[in-house]
Chain A
Amino acid sequence: MGTGREASVSLDGVRDKNMMQLKKLNTVLFPVRYNDKYYADAISSGEFTKLAYYSDICVGAIACRLETKGGTMRVYIMTLGVLAPYRGIGIGSKLLNHVLDMCTKQNVSEIYLHVQTNNEDAIKFYKKFGFDITDTIPDYYINIEPRDCYVVTKSFAQI
């Protein structure tokens, strides 16, 4: 499956009323349980956290946290994921592109994330969007192997 007929993909924000959708996605997509702070950060990031709908079904999400560092704003991607049956049809790219657009509009200095060192698909994916590996943190993960992670960053030229 994958290349289906034309189906519309739309994005929607995360609010108190539909937060359970994000939680459902995370339970299936990631081996980690997220705490309340994650969801609070996600909601307060506003336009930087989005659910993706594939013909009215919620199938993926990007969740970011906004940070300020020395007067400039940076964005940390907490999670980005799409349900297995709906991968390979550009939904992840659409989510990431939306956030990158927001970064340019809102003068964000850089956007970064952590990724497990063996997750080659993810690294390849982000490199396509101009991200680079900027650091390695040993023993970042406690419960999963390998325990190391890369920091993957994209900087924006400041205007």
Chain B
Amino acid sequence: MGASLPPKEANLFKLIVKSYETKQYKKGLKAADAILKKFPSHGETLSMKGLTLNCMDRKTEAYELVRLGVKNDIKSHVCWHVFGLLYRSDREYREAIKCYRNALRIDPENLEILRDLSLLQAQMRDLSGFVETRQQLLTLKPNHRMNWIGFAVSQHLNANASKAVEILEAFEGTLEDDYPPENELCEHTEMILYKVSLLEEIGAFDKALEELHKKEPKIVDKLSYKELEVSLLSKLGRPAEADKLYRVLLSMNPDNYRYYEGLQKCFGLYSESGQYSSDKIEKLNALYQSLSEQYTRSSAVKRIPLDFLQDESFKEAVAKYIKPLLTKGVPSLFSDLSSLYDHPRKPDILEQVVVEMEHSIRTTGSYPGSDVKEPPSTLLWTLFFLAQHYDKRGQYDVALGKIDEAIAHTPTVIDLYSVKSRIMKHAGDLTAAAALADEARCMDLADRYINSECVKRMLQADQVTLAEKTAVLFTKEGDQINNLHDMQCMWYDLASGDSYFRQGDLGRALKRFLAVEKHYTDISEDQFDFHSYCLRKMTLRSYVDMLKFQDRLHSFPYFHKAAIRAIRCYLKLHDSPKSTAEEDGMSKMAPAQKKKMKKQRKAEERAKKEAESKSEESTASGVSKSGKKNVKPVDPDPHGQKLIQVEEPMAEASKYLRLLQKHSPNALETHLVSFEVNMRKQKFLLAFQAVKQMLKLDAENSDSHRSLIKFFLKTESTSAPTTEAEKLRWSVLEAERPSISQLQNKSLVEVNEDFLGRHKDSLVHRAAYAEMLYLLDPSKKTEAIKTIEDSTDKVVQTNGAQREWKLKDCIAVHKLLDTVLLDSEAASRWKSRCAEYFPCSTYFEGKRSSVMPDSVYNSSRKSNDNGDAPNHPMGQTEMSDGQVEAFKSLSVST
């Protein structure tokens, strides 16, 4: 390095490098300038100066200098390495890899560059390149442990696990017998366990077990040892030994579900679906009976049988399970049992059992058939359970009755208000739900969970300002919104974005949804440091797991939701001309809401101005005081105004669509938005592909049906093909058409009629039929509306009235009547019909909802909108019918 310079300057050059490594950038800059005075075109110095400036936040200059450096000394590996580092700092990994490769062409055995390159290759999953680089590193420096391990891991990642085993074995061959030293026991353990798990992965169970047993004295992680051993024993078909070992593990942790699962497998009593023959159920029951005698403190051993037991034996077991937990007061009991509600008969049995308990406690103070007096709180927890039970079954009236009784019994239990809030949400009154969540929040101001739950309810009720104020009660001092962002609080981003979307503020909505996407990019970036760290620390099993997790990162629900919603924003932007997008949102709102929005905007603008002037002040003072910039860069577009100015919304949408198609190909919604986007882009073949995917995933889904009809209506109505491309498209569709079973020589009208025929009793499907009927032939409007209005809500008879219609579907139907079929009279008839069905729904203005003037939540809503009313007015109203007679015994008052 700096070879071409005379001694004095060469020393200076060394100083630049040293200063860069020790982060003394000013010193380095001075040295660089000193060299450049004499040799203004010295490439390596120019490069290093650029790299130094990059660390001082002078990006543009940095790139200029580094580029100039490379240009002046294209044969220098230093210049290329620096260029690579610069790109890496900006996360331009592909470019960085190119630069490193150029550097290596000049200096093929430079260890530092090879190491840097290997990290990038791991990050970019350039696996064959990764193997190559790792091999080279090992060849150059075979006495480094890390190089052996790195080469082995690279082979494993490149789907060559047996090669990885060979490499590890070769490495072990270089070790002395007394290896490892005291202080490296853990690292060595990890390496052995990694090797064994590799053997397991390639199916060499015998060899894996042998290796494990041979190395036993050197393995300090005894739990992992046992878990690996038991897994190998099972795979080798040695159930007796596995059984024994599982019981040892259970005595260490009797609540680990995986051990129970493994034990069941030993006896051939495990099924993925949870379905068992009656013979097997009996055997399972006997197994768990004996286990429960052995592990008396385990709750898993009591809970698991509830999954496989049926009917009478289930009834008996569930009663036995519930009783002590109601007596003790376990608020999570319902969520513990909620998975049982997927079963066709178990919910009925549960209802019967708990209602019996309620009755018995009320009349005798004890559980049925017992004469032990229950503590007073048992009734409370029983009511609490029943409220959640009826809520789950959609019987909101009954649920509310139970929860109100529980609140009257003991008004100080916070969970009661949270559950009531949830019931109100399900019943369709989001304002009341938010008010109740706030009441719960006020009862313990130190509880972050209740606070977050309240924020979410407020956002669902579109009280965004209030929600923000509440959320920041638990963030650090300072820049509040950024703090929420830094914490990668994605539920907040989604709920807040949803609210803005409903209110027609697409800019802010997009801002939030894209923030989620940003979090995922950050999570993906965050793995970078682990490529070197994990190899050094030998945590290889976790490292490989982490990489696999990162590979499917974008298939996680938060990303899926955010991407779908972002695309919906772009679709809306596409459909409404740019300048009027905002007005449009406004015009759809009720006048009162409009006023509210305007007010809110004004207040926000004021706040923004204040914030700006403040931040200016603080920047000024910050700089003058310490000379350091500790103020974060201000977001130039805090409200997403620039986001909605985008020229081609569909091009933006396509970016996220590609990620969805890659990572969530099994979600119907992915293909639905793909259909919508590609129809607008006039990419008919891609749209057709989306339709086919939807039909494949769920042919009877109403959205699949809609897309099918819309697609063929559109493509058939376009005039005969003229251009080559159109002809080609036409012939492809012609060839594909017979493959769609729904179409088979039928007209679209007939396809639509068939669809109705198959789903006569379903509201959602009738609505889809009606919408398509109108689309195919606008003169059939009356018929379409009649189809919807003739739908009947079947009441499912299961121990009580349960509606089949869902609130959300009824709302969708109302919107269809109102805005697509454009019949306001039918819409209002529908509305009053649904107001009967859903008396708590604010959307339908049900008579028990908070939009009614005499609602307790109505007054609370006003105070909510104004912000900080710490003690909730709802409290008194709620309690007024409570116990006034409390006065007579112990109470004393001033």
Q: Which A residues contact B (CB, under 8 angstroms)?
A: 1-5, 7, 16-18, 20-21, 23-25, 27-33, 54-59, 77-87, 89, 92, 113-116, 119, 121-122, 125
In the docked arrangement, what's the CA distance between A13 and B834, Å?
49
In the docked arrangement, what's the CA distance between A31 and B884, Å?
7
In the docked arrangement, what's the CA distance between A29 and B891, Å?
7
Apart from A25-B412, A83-B886, A119-B892, what 6 extra A-B contacts exist at CB < 8 Å? A1-B379, A4-B374, A5-B373, A20-B444, A57-B380, A80-B892
In the docked arrangement, what's the CA distance between A49 and B409, Å?
23
Residue of B with least CB distance to A120: B888
Checking B445, B875, B887, B889 against A16 with a beta-carbon cut-off of 8 angstroms, the contacting residue is: B445
**Chain A nearest CB, measured from B855 CB (Å):** 20
Chain A CB within 10 A, most for which of B327, B379, B885, B893:
B893
> A81 — which chain B residues lie within 8 A by C-beta?
886, 890-892
Find out whether the CB atom of B886 lies under 8 angstroms from the CB atom of A84. yes
Find out whether the CB atom of A57 lies under 8 angstroms from the CB atom of B890. no
**Chain B nearest CB, measured from A68 CB (Å):** 19
Find out whether the CB atom of B892 lies under 8 angstroms from the CB atom of A115. yes
Contacts A17-B444, A25-B412, A83-B410 given: A55-B890 contact, CB under 8 Å?
no
Q: Is B879 an interface residue (CB 8 A)?
A: yes
Q: List 16 A-B contacts (CB under 8 A).
A: A1-B365, A4-B376, A20-B442, A24-B879, A27-B875, A30-B893, A31-B887, A54-B375, A56-B329, A59-B410, A83-B410, A114-B894, A119-B888, A122-B889, A122-B891, A122-B892
**Chain B nearest CB, measured from A93 CB (Å):** 10
Render B850-868 as a binary contact track against A, CB cut-off 8 A, 1 for contact.
0000000000000000000
Q: Is B129 an interface residue (CB 8 A)?
A: no
Find out whether the CB atom of A24 lies under 8 angstroms from the CB atom of B889. no
In the docked arrangement, what's the CA distance between A18 and B886, Å?
22
Checking B376, B443, B883 against A2 with a beta-carbon cut-off of 8 angstroms, the contacting residue is: B376
Find out whether the CB atom of A4 lies under 8 angstroms from the CB atom of B892. no
Checking A4, A28, A33, A92 against B411 with a beta-carbon cut-off of 8 angstroms, the contacting residue is: A28
Q: Which of B349-383 contact A (CB under 8 A)?
A: 365, 372-377, 379-380
In the docked arrangement, what's the CA distance between A98 and B222, Å?
50
> B365 — which chain A residues lie within 8 A by C-beta?
1
Chain A CB within 10 A, most for which of B374, B375, B888:
B375
4 A-B pairs with the lowest CB-CB distances in the bound complex, closest first: A4-B375, A85-B376, A58-B412, A17-B446
Q: Is B871 an interface residue (CB 8 A)?
A: yes
> B884 — which chain A residues lie within 8 A by C-beta?
31
> A2 — which chain B residues lie within 8 A by C-beta?
373, 376
Checking B376, B380, B879 against A28 with a beta-carbon cut-off of 8 angstroms, the contacting residue is: B879
Find out whether the CB atom of A18 lies under 8 angstroms from the CB atom of B444. yes
Find out whether the CB atom of A85 lies under 8 angstroms from the CB atom of B889. no
Find out whether the CB atom of B876 lies under 8 angstroms from the CB atom of A27. yes
Contacts A17-B446, A56-B329 given: A27-B411 contact, CB under 8 Å?
yes
Render B397-412 as a binary contact track against A, CB cut-off 8 A, 1 for contact.
0000000000001111
Contacts A24-B875, A85-B410 given: A121-B374 contact, CB under 8 Å?
no
Checking B374, B379, B380, B875 against A23 with a beta-carbon cut-off of 8 angstroms, the contacting residue is: B875
Q: Is B413 an interface residue (CB 8 A)?
A: yes
> B445 — which chain A residues lie within 8 A by C-beta?
16-18, 20
> A1 — which chain B residues lie within 8 A by C-beta?
365, 373-376, 379
> A80 — which chain B residues lie within 8 A by C-beta?
890-892
Residue of B with least CB distance to A81: B891
Residue of A with least CB distance to B361: A1
> A4 — which chain B residues lie within 8 A by C-beta?
373-376
Find out whether the CB atom of B891 lies under 8 angstroms from the CB atom of A55. no
In the docked arrangement, what's the CA distance between A128 and B134, Å?
85
**Chain A nearest CB, measured from B435 CB (Å):** 14
Contacts A21-B412, A86-B376 given: A125-B890 contact, CB under 8 Å?
yes
> B889 — which chain A residues lie within 8 A by C-beta?
87, 121-122
In the docked arrangement, what's the CA distance between A116 and B871, Å?
29
Q: Is B681 an interface residue (CB 8 A)?
A: no
Q: Is B328 an interface residue (CB 8 A)?
A: yes
Checking B372, B444, B883 against A5 with a beta-carbon cut-off of 8 angstroms, the contacting residue is: B372
In the docked arrangement, what's the CA distance between A140 and B888, Å?
18
Find out whether the CB atom of A7 lies under 8 angstroms from the CB atom of B890. no
Q: Is B882 an interface residue (CB 8 A)?
A: yes
> A7 — which chain B residues lie within 8 A by C-beta?
375, 377
Residue of A with least CB distance to B413: A57
**Chain B nearest CB, measured from A128 CB (Å):** 12
> B444 — which chain A residues lie within 8 A by C-beta?
17-18, 20-21
Find out whether the CB atom of A20 lies under 8 angstroms from the CB atom of B890. no
> A89 — which chain B residues lie within 8 A by C-beta?
376
**Chain B nearest CB, measured from A13 CB (Å):** 13
Residue of B with least CB distance to A152: B892
In the docked arrangement, what's the CA distance between A84 and B888, Å?
10
> B328 — which chain A residues lie within 8 A by C-beta?
55
In the docked arrangement, what's the CA distance between A70 and B889, Å?
34
Find out whether the CB atom of A24 lies under 8 angstroms from the CB atom of B443. yes
In the docked arrangement, what's the CA distance between A31 and B871, Å?
18
Contacts A5-B373, A79-B891 given: A85-B409 contact, CB under 8 Å?
yes
Contacts A17-B445, A20-B443, A20-B871 given: A30-B890 contact, CB under 8 Å?
no
> A114 — which chain B residues lie within 8 A by C-beta?
892-894
**Chain A nearest CB, measured from B394 CB (Å):** 29
> A92 — which chain B residues lie within 8 A by C-beta?
890
In the docked arrangement, what's the CA distance between A74 and B94, Å?
79
Residue of A with least CB distance to B879: A27
Find out whether the CB atom of B893 lies under 8 angstroms from the CB atom of A57. no
In the docked arrangement, what's the CA distance between A100 and B328, Å?
31
**Chain A nearest CB, measured from B883 CB (Å):** 5
Residue of B with least CB distance to A32: B893
Find out whether the CB atom of B892 lies under 8 angstroms from the CB atom of A77. yes
> A54 — which chain B residues lie within 8 A by C-beta?
375-377
Find out whether the CB atom of A57 lies under 8 angstroms from the CB atom of B892. no
Chain B CB within 10 A, most for which of A16, A85, A87:
A85
Find out whether the CB atom of A55 lies under 8 angstroms from the CB atom of B375. yes
> B442 — which chain A residues lie within 8 A by C-beta?
20
Find out whether the CB atom of B443 lies under 8 angstroms from the CB atom of A78. no
Residue of B with least CB distance to A39: B871
In the docked arrangement, what's the CA distance between A17 and B894, Å?
25
**Chain A nearest CB, measured from B15 CB (Å):** 57
Render B323-356 as a binary contact track against A, CB cut-off 8 A, 1 for contact.
0000111000000000000000000000000000
In the docked arrangement, what's the CA distance between A83 and B376, Å?
10
**Chain B nearest CB, measured from A123 CB (Å):** 10
Residue of B with least CB distance to A51: B412
Q: Which of B447-503 contact A (CB under 8 A)?
A: none
**Chain A nearest CB, measured from B783 CB (Å):** 57
In the docked arrangement, what's the CA distance between A84 and B376, Å?
10
Find out whether the CB atom of A55 lies under 8 angstroms from the CB atom of B411. no
> B882 — which chain A residues lie within 8 A by C-beta?
27-28
Find out whether the CB atom of B894 lies under 8 angstroms from the CB atom of A87. no
Find out whether the CB atom of A29 lies under 8 angstroms from the CB atom of B887. yes
Chain B CB within 10 A, most for which of A17, A77, A78, A84:
A84
Checking A21, A29, A82 against B443 with a beta-carbon cut-off of 8 angstroms, the contacting residue is: A21
Chain B CB within 10 A, most for which of A28, A116, A125:
A28
> B888 — which chain A residues lie within 8 A by C-beta?
119, 121
> A33 — which chain B residues lie within 8 A by C-beta?
876
Find out whether the CB atom of B887 lies under 8 angstroms from the CB atom of A24. no
**Chain A nearest CB, measured from B90 CB (Å):** 46
Render B422-443 as a binary contact track against A, CB cut-off 8 A, 1 for contact.
0000000000000000000011
Find out whether the CB atom of B890 lies under 8 angstroms from the CB atom of A87. yes
> A86 — which chain B residues lie within 8 A by C-beta?
376-377, 410
> A119 — which chain B residues lie within 8 A by C-beta?
887-888, 891-892
**Chain B nearest CB, measured from A34 CB (Å):** 8
> B375 — which chain A residues lie within 8 A by C-beta?
1, 4-5, 7, 54-55
**Chain A nearest CB, measured from B453 CB (Å):** 16
**Chain A nearest CB, measured from B417 CB (Å):** 10
In the docked arrangement, what's the CA distance between A118 and B737, Å?
89
In the docked arrangement, what's the CA distance between A125 and B890, Å?
8
**Chain A nearest CB, measured from B374 CB (Å):** 6
